[in-house]
Amino acid sequence: MSDEITISELAKLMKVSVHQIRYFEEKGVLHPAYIAENQYRMYGVDEIYRLSHILLLRKMGLSVQMIKECLSNLTTVQISSLFRQALADTEAAITQLQQTKHLISKLLQEKDHIPRDEDQVTYYIDTREEIHLSLWFHMEAQEYLQARQLIQLKENIPNLFEADIHYAYDETDTVGIYTQKEGANDLVLPRGKYLSRHVYVHIEAELKEHINEFYAYAEDQGYPYHGPLIMVEKSYLSLFTPEKLHYELLLQMIE
């Protein structure tokens, strides 16, 4: 019995497909030890180790051409440099996956805390932790966001519609648009109790009526409040309410 193994045996041993091994052969990075009289490709221990190196480098994201260079011409220093770059790329990918996981978790948690009936008017009093906000820009109170504004200001905020956009309404004719940023002090929403209401709108023009109703409710209930009214745009929650935008209205209660 031959000490070498066939291509199908090699594929089973290394948990890859025969097609993948043939692909590596076509690209010149792997060759059989010899071809038997029956035209079977035969592979020995050396080929097993070489294939393991190829698979390792592929897992690191290297192209087949780069693998060929790595196994044939590159020095130890050059190979080490490739590994360091692969490590940096992997860490970046992990960071991206962690951010995606955080976004999905946040979306599901937020969804669990909003009314299931879009037309249900529900008010809450919640205790909120301190939030630090960074000013994005100001606009007139009677204006609405325009696509041109977003283009002009896009460099100031990453992943625009994955973030909570905070609109701060005070007694002036301008509205401050803020994003949450740890350590920022342009506007700080202190820890405490907040009156809250979730609203859904087809168009931004409907928001004015909801804001007026929110103020009226606070006054009717005799709730003392201070600071600006905060409207939080959660555009990602609109995935659950097609053709409607989701906002949360907040007023800080005086305790």
Q: In whole numbers, what is the pLDDT of the chain averaged over residues?
A: 88
Q: In what order do the strands lie in the sheet with 245-253?
A: 123-128, 192-201, 245-253, 225-233, 165-169, 174-180, 131-140, 187-189
| Residue 110 pLDDT > 90 | no
Tell whether pTM > 0.85: no
> What confidence score (pLDDT) does residue 155 get?
64
Question: pLDDT per residue over 133-154, tens digit each?
Answer: 999 888 887 777 777 777 777 6
- Residues 114, 160, 252: CA angle, nearest 5 degrees: 45
Task: Yes or no: say if 33 and 47 are a contact pair by the CB < 8 Å rule.
Answer: yes
Polymer length of the chain: 255
> Between the CA atoms of 98, 99, 105 and 106, what dihedral angle is there, to the nearest 10 degrees?
150
How far lies 217's CA from each of 171, 196, 206, 225, 255, in Å? 19, 11, 17, 12, 18
> What confidence score (pLDDT) does residue 92 get?
94
Contacts of 79 (CB under 8 A, 6+ apart): 70
Identify the structural domains of the chain with CATH numbers, from first to last. Answer: 5-73 (1.10.1660.10), 123-253 (3.20.80.10)
Distance, CA of 13 to CA of 11 (rounded, Å)? 5
Question: pLDDT per residue over 237-249, tens digit each?
Answer: 888 887 888 899 9
Distance, CA of 37 to CA of 82 (rounded, Å)? 40
Question: pLDDT per residue over 191-227, tens digit each?
Answer: 999 999 999 898 888 888 999 999 999 999 999 998 8
Distance, CA of 132 to CA of 39 (rounded, Å)? 71
Question: pLDDT per residue over 19-33, tens digit each?
Answer: 999 999 999 999 999
Task: Yes or no: say if 40 and 7 are a contact pair by the CB < 8 Å rule.
Answer: yes
